[in-house]
């Protein structure tokens, strides 16, 4: 039987933006990163959608999970650290544009 998995849409090195949405319920995408742009660092695999699993549903189809790298200066207004400082966040594909 074929596994129920969404195909990955993004490749390593592609610039993406995190959807700026604020739905109710269990959301795995951190509030502070919504609306920010970063670069795909790696594809981590495909996993059950935690937003669906938290509601006692199947979590299918499995969603691609990416590690996205953000420049700290793009995430935190007034960030005083180095230009090369980054933050990596794992984000499911349905949150990326």
Mean pLDDT by 10-residue block, N- to C-terminus, for the chain (97 residues)? 85 97 84 96 95 87 97 94 96 97
pTM of the shown model: 0.90
> For position 84, what pLDDT does the model report?
94
> For position 2, what pLDDT does the model report?
58
Contact (CB, 8 A) for 28 and 51: yes
> For position 44, what pLDDT does the model report?
98
> For position 79, what pLDDT does the model report?
94
> For position 59, what pLDDT does the model report?
83
Phi, psi of 73 (to 5 degrees): -65, -25
Contact (CB, 8 A) for 90 and 16: no
Query: What are the structural domains of the chain?
Result: 15-95 (2.30.30.50)
> For position 82, what pLDDT does the model report?
94
Q: What share of the chain is helix, strand, coil (3-state, %, to 5)?
A: 15, 35, 50
């Amino acid at each position: 039987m074929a596994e129920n998995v969404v195909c990955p849409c993004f490749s390593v090195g592609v610039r993406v933006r995190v959807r700026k949405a604020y739905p109710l319920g269990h959301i795995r995408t951190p509030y502070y990163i919504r609306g920010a742009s970063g670069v795909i660092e790696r594809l981590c695999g495909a996993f059950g959608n935690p937003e669906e699993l938290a509601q006692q549903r199947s979590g299918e189809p499995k969603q691609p999970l990416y590690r996205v790298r953000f420049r700290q200066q793009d995430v935190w207004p007034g960030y005083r650290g180095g230009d090369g400082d980054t933050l990596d966040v794992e984000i499911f594909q349905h949150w990326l544009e």
